[in-house]
Amino acid sequence: MSLTTRLPVSTERLLEACDAQEQRLAAKIRAAQRGVPTFFDQLLLNGIGRVRQLVAGSTKNGTREFPGSADELATLTAALTGFIDQRQRPRFQTFETRLQTSMSGRPLPWELSPYQAAALQGVDDCVRWRDRPLFKSACDVAIYPMLLWELKPRTIVELGSGVGASAMWFSDLLAAFGVEAHVYSVDKVDLAVTYPRVSFIQGDCLRIQEALPSALLGSWAHPWLVVEDVHVNTRGILDHLLPFLEVGDYLIVEDAADKGHDIRDALSVHPHRFVVDSRYTDFFGRNSTSAVDAILVQVPDQR
């Protein structure tokens, strides 16, 4: 059997894809990265080179010169075509479309396993900010600053304060960026913490209308970043807050893998208004974030 018989695409199309990706990477490295490739850029370039080598050897010698190379070529081709397929999808997708693609897509080699994802807050300790447990994954610690810089929110609404580190972290980041903003962090426990540009609100998220009354929400400046990070009343929280969001505001539901039904039901009340921003959900590989399929932004109703 020929080395290329089991490939999902023809040899010609495979080599064309290699050429296109190599040209795209070269342009990106040259312009956006000032000539410095990332580790993943180098991984892709090395993989493309190996694909060309295996295809050339197959064309010349069949399988005799490369024992086991049929499996290697098939594996490399699947990874390359999977990467290209993900890149070609639009940045913004409806929640339902996003769920379908997430469930149907095959895992790619660089995507996190459940064990790896569980370790990203720390294995024997917790990622910290100002020596307080932050309870953010390593990926989210990198994603949030990029989102904050792009959004430049005037208001952050955090549901679930933990020990206060995340609200402090948001405040510090926005101050470093020169963004005039305020963080409102709600928790059932009174933290008795005072921090610049942060209001810790003692309130029960089971009674979110009392913790964050409409009159208060209506007084806060936009754009907003809403971070839902509690494990109670997700549907009630979203039902209460979503009507106050405006075009361009972001909603992030952390630990979303266990909250999918609540998110779907809440968004169904506001069809065509919220989409998943895959730039952030997939920055380190598909759903390499605690907000699985749940970094959402409000868009104009396109109906």
Per-residue pLDDT of 13-52, as tens digits, reads 999 999 999 999 999 999 999 999 999 999 999 999 999 9
Report residue 288 as tokens. Answer: 């390499």
**Among the listed residues 97, 83, 89, the one whose alpha carbon sits nearest the alpha carbon of residue 296:** 97
Whether residue 163 lies inside any domain: the answer is yes
40 and 59 in a common domain: yes
35 and 131 in a common domain: no
197 and 59 in a common domain: no
Task: Give the domain range for residue 31.
Answer: 11-88
The predicted pLDDT at position 8 comes to 59
CATH number of the domain residue 174 falls in: 3.40.50.150
Query: Of 45, 73, 88, which marks where a domain is finished?
Result: 88
The predicted pLDDT at position 9 comes to 66
Query: Of 88, 119, 152, which marks where a domain is finished?
Result: 88
198 and 127 in a common domain: yes
In this structure, the number of other CB atoms found within 10 A of the CB of residue 118 comes to: 11
**Regions in the chain scoring below 50 on pLDDT:** 1-4, 63-65
- Cβ neighbors of 246 (< 8 A, separation 6 or more) are 222, 223, 224, 298
- 271: cis peptide before it, omega within 30°? no
The one-letter amino acid code at 208 reads I
100 and 84 in a common domain: no
Whether residue 303 lies inside any domain: the answer is no
- Cβ neighbors of 115 (< 8 A, separation 6 or more) are none
Whether residue 285 lies inside any domain: the answer is yes
The predicted pLDDT at position 1 comes to 43
The predicted pLDDT at position 301 comes to 82
Whether residue 270 lies inside any domain: the answer is yes
The predicted pLDDT at position 67 comes to 54
Report residue 292 as tokens. Answer: 């699985």
Whether residue 252 lies inside any domain: the answer is yes
The predicted pLDDT at position 179 comes to 98
* C-alpha torsion 272→273→278→279, nearest 10: 140
74 and 103 in a common domain: no
Look up tokens 């990706």; give the residue: 21
Query: Of 72, 88, 104, which marks where a domain is finished?
Result: 88
- Number of domains present in the structure of the chain: 2
Per-residue pLDDT of 145-183, as tens digits, reads 999 999 999 999 999 999 999 999 999 999 999 999 999
137 and 54 in a common domain: no
101 and 81 in a common domain: no
76 and 105 in a common domain: no
Instruction: Please answer whether residues 244 and 173 qualify as being in contact, where contact means their C-beta atoms are separated by less than 8 angstroms.
Output: no
Model confidence, pTM: 0.92
140 and 44 in a common domain: no
242 and 127 in a common domain: yes
| Dist. CA 191–CA 195, nearest whole Å | 11
Whether residue 2 lies inside any domain: the answer is no
The predicted pLDDT at position 6 comes to 55
Whether residue 180 lies inside any domain: the answer is yes
176 and 75 in a common domain: no
Whether residue 78 lies inside any domain: the answer is yes
Three-state DSSP class for 132? strand
